[in-house]
Structure 1
Amino acid sequence: MNINLVFMTGPYNGSTLCIAGSNPIERADRELPVVGGTGLFRMARGFSVSNTYSYDPVKDFGILEYTVHVSYF
């Protein structure tokens, strides 16, 4: 799975964070690595913890929460 978080306002406007890794939706507290970013987050490193609030396999629709911890230069 690859997730790109795009910041649209505030001090990080125009920057992105890239999160990649295995994200099995049925597990709680899934840890995914932050593998980089752009703008102010260039060369970012860290991790995120993902949790599923709800998931409908018929509609393939879910509500997930991501808590991101990141270090950048």
Structure 2
Amino acid sequence: MSGEVVHNRIAVLRADRRVSRRELAEALGVHYQTVGYLERGEYAPSLYLALRIARYFDVPVESVFSLEEFPPLT
């Protein structure tokens, strides 16, 4: 494993639920740019934020975040 990379499926979940970055950010109480940083892997969320994101999408946190790359969905 190279570095401390946290992979995520935030963009996939947002697209599936038709939620904009701004809408997600407002629901979480963060700046919309933070959502972009998270999606691009430029920022690893705190445990608190990761759990809130999982709760927002009503999925287990492991469905949103992983230390390994997620396999392609197709």
Question: How would you bin the TM-score normalised by the shorter chain?
Answer: under 0.3
Comparing both chains, which one has the higher relative contact order based on Cα–Cα distances under 8 Å and sequence gaps of 6 or more? 2
Computing the radius of gyration from Cα coordinates, the structure with the larger value is 1
* Structure 1 or 2: more helix by fraction: 2
* Structure 1 or 2: more strand by fraction: 1
TM-score with structure 2 setting the length: 0.24
